[in-house]
Amino acid sequence: MRRIKWLVIGGIWFLYWTWEIVEVRLGFKTFDPEHIMEGVVKLFLCSGIIYFAFRLIERYHQKIVSMKSYYENIVENAATGIIAVDREGRITTWNRYMEEKYKIKRREVMGKNIFEFFPLIQTNDIGQGIKTVLNSDKPLIIDRVRHKTKRVGERIIDFKIYPLKNSLGKVTGIVLLNDDVTERIKIEEELKTKYEELEKFSKVTVGRELKMMELKKRIKKLEEKLR
């Protein structure tokens, strides 16, 4: 940006003096020191305006870059998978969570059509959900989707799909939040099994204790008869 600023200012000075020299050489005007000084003053004023205009542009550019970096950092370090897809189905965002969880690098998917790169989603709730949000302009939540991934086998995933809109309110794409709950579901199922086993064991234990109490009562009655 700084190089462009000085190139623009230098270019204006060069063109001005080139034009002045050409006019004098061709006889359109005579060499006039007062006119030269007036031109120098105008050039300085013009250069000053351009300089401060570029300073303002640089400041806004730095703010935009800083904000972009800030939001990219949030997306990159989120504890959930984030995928952004444009209206044509091209993947525009693939964060670190998605790379680490599904062993697919960002460079492999960026710019690729999500339905072509992941053909299986065309026939399950994920693909249908993406199409629905793109066409209906409303967010959608899909829980417990069993999806066969490319590299880590079948996973159970909760999806939240939100529309992306421009300043006119037109849907330009979607953001898909991916929460892999496979391990959580496995733990829940294991806990359920253990609780069921514990309940069965408790029933058996209680039954045994009742039988023991009944047996003790009978023994006691028999002992009393012997006395």
**Per-position DSSP letters for 67-104, written without gaps between them:** HHHHHHHHHHT-SSEEEEEETTSBEEEE-HHHHHHHT-
| Regions of the chain short of the pLDDT cut 70 | 1-51, 202-212, 215-227
| pLDDT for the residue 63 | 81
Q: How far is CA 217 from CA 123, 194, 205, in A?
A: 67, 34, 18
The number of angstroms, rounded, from the C-alpha of 33 to the middle of its chain's C-alpha atoms is: 63
- Helix, strand or coil, per DSSP, at residue 126: helix
CA angle centred on 134, ends 133 and 139, rounded to 5°: 25
| pLDDT for the residue 157 | 94
| pLDDT for the residue 113 | 95
| pLDDT for the residue 192 | 81
Q: Find where tokens 């460079």 sit.
A: 107
Query: Measuring CA to CA, which residue among 134, 148, 150, 108 is closest to residue 94?
Result: 108
| pLDDT for the residue 178 | 94
| pLDDT for the residue 101 | 92
